[in-house]
Chain A
Amino acid sequence: MESPEQIRDRLLARFPGAEISVVTNPGIAAQHSLLLGAAHARAIAEFLRDDPTLRLDQCSNVTGIDWPEKEIVETTNISTPDPANPAAPPTVVEQKTKRLQPGFLEVVYHLYSITHRHGPVIFRQRTGNRSDEATVPSLTPVWRSCEFQEREVFDLFGVTFVGHPDLRRILMWDEFKDHPMRRDYVEPDDYEWEPTPHGAVLEKTKAHYPTPPAPAAVAPVKAAAP
């Protein structure tokens, strides 16, 4: 099967001007993926499905990822040579720049080919932000198997799929507010005691069942002489 770079080059030749880039996975799995822009995503998806050498006719998995807003601190060393004495080592000033990486939501698709028995080809779509532009084009018209999974991403992450035939909540009830898989989801405060809390649940235990004040020190009772 072609590598993601080869697929990207072929897609760029077929769709000039499309936003396609390769997202490398530095992990041991090294499953690199394609990042598609919203404008050509639907056409590219149809191409991936119908292209005779790829024929990715099965979409096995649709996943959402929440990337909240992140502050990135970059450290740069600025060296200024001494104008009076050019031979002396330059003074190095460490400069820290902070920038705010805007948050977005990401949808990941895993494609396989039943015909050619190869795969997966992974591609991603990203929303503009996490609030009013949380939309990506739906690929349910291309792969029917996306329907419920895109509904799940809509339900739990709040990504609106434009062009989805039946975009409703699927796991939570219709009256539910909020999207529980987002990182900033605040669940209702209905914690109850449990015997072996750990992690985030332990923090809740401490908040709901605070440690009682230590009892007043009792003078040790001397053992009676035998």
Chain B
Amino acid sequence: MSQEVTPPPPSVTETERDELRRQGILLTSLQELYTWGNSHSVWPLNFGLACCAIEMIAASMAKFDIARFGSEVFRPSPRQADLLIVSGTVTKKMAPQVIRLWNQMPEPKYCIAMGACAISGGPFKQGYNVLKGIDRFIPVDIYIPGCPPRPEALLHGLVQLQKKIQGFKLTGPDAPRHLRDDQPCNCPVPEFGEHDLEPPANPAVWTAPPAIVRKD
């Protein structure tokens, strides 16, 4: 839908809907149904990079049980996965493969940068073979800080992602990427250069932060 649609004010309030549900009448909208189903079946890609992946595996086991949130099905193929959990240090040599995996995932797809390394390079940021954050090349939905984050933090990140998905609009300018035609779902894969990846970042998803002037 191209024209602006202002939603009419809800004629049925939340309490009235709850009252009707108790009587066996379910009121919903297509958008609610869509985002509800979408947010409770986020299947992650079975993909780990470093020590954060151990915490991700722990989150999927019985004690933390990621299945409570509908994400127990770790898919071994990117064609069947909805969520890319970048769990660990992304080396410059590995970065093109991570971006290829992202490109092979069908929409709707989401990305969680798990841990300090995936966010910014972490303690290895100034290393000669370490990418300074995966958000330079692919759009990241949720950042989970920690070194590594506890499984509870990953579960919290997943719940935050579910809330984000539930806030999606099906139409209009706020619609997510996969429901629009004007935003590409694939990211260009960088080439290996003589010292760094070329280009070193994807300008469509990342711009350099403003320079920080030291106070001291």
Contact = CB atoms under 8 A, between A and B. Distances in A.
Contacts of B193: 175
A171 B192 contact: no
Given A180-B128, A201-B126, A212-B213, A190 B196 contact: yes
Given A171-B93, A171-B129, A201-B126, A193 B212 contact: yes
Contacts, number: 46
Contact of A209 (B132, B194, B200, B211): B211
Contacts of A176: 192, 194-195
Contacts of A192: 125, 132
B214 interface: yes
Nearest to A209: B214
Interface string B181-212: 00000000000111110001000000000011
Contacts of B125: 192, 194
Interface string A166-210: 000001111111101000010110111110000001001100011
A195 to B, nearest CB: 10
B43 to A, nearest CB: 31
A100 B124 CA distance: 35
A207 B200 CA distance: 21
Contacts of B196: 188, 190
Contact of B195 (A171, A188, A212): A188
B211 A175 contact: no
A209 B93 contact: no
A6 interface: no
Given A176-B194, A185-B128, 7 more contacts: A173-B192, A177-B195, A187-B128, A187-B195, A192-B125, A201-B126, A211-B214
Name the 6 nearest CB pairs between A and B, nearest first.
A173-B192, A175-B192, A177-B194, A188-B195, A180-B128, A193-B212
